[in-house]
């Protein structure tokens, strides 16, 4: 069965590029340009992984990741925090993310992180 990835990022070009790249490596990809109603989105998509942008509208990546990680049905889903912010390591830790990637990153870096959580 294909792994399911939810990408939350307000950069539509980023969403398109990484959706295509992840589909090429056999993943089912869902995208959102906001984080409104994140719990309903997770219930609908049932992702195996989440890529969460730091500056995602409406609540932002830190608050949204905390909501996910505090919910008993979704707190085991790995959240990979993504940002070009030079303080991403600190932000990811503050959010409670499982890992992080500095933008821009290549598909090999991304699949390596996702594979780590597949084992």
pTM for this entry = 0.95
Interatomic CA distance for residues 44 and 23, integer angstroms? 19
The H or E element that residue 7 is part of is strand 4-8
What tens-digit pLDDT sequence spans the chain (119 residues)?
Answer: 899 999 999 999 999 999 999 999 999 999 999 999 999 999 999 999 999 999 998 899 999 999 999 999 999 999 999 999 999 999 999 999 999 999 989 889 998 999 898 87
Q: Which two tokens stand for residue 91?
A: 């932000």
């Amino acid at each position: 069965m294909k792994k399911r990835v939810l990408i939350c990022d307000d950069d539509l070009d980023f969403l398109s590029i990484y959706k295509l790249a992840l589909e090429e490596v056999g993943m089912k990809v869902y995208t959102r340009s906001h984080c409104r109603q994140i719990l309903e989105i997770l219930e609908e998509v049932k992702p195996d992984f989440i890529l969460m942008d730091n500056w995602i509208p409406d609540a932002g990546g830190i608050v949204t990741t905390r909501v996910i990680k505090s919910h008993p049905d979704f707190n085991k889903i790995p959240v990979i925090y993504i940002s070009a912010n030079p303080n991403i390591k600190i932000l990811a830790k503050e959010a409670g993310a499982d890992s992080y990637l500095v933008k821009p990153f290549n598909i090999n870096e991304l699949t390596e992180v996702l594979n780590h959580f597949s084992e």
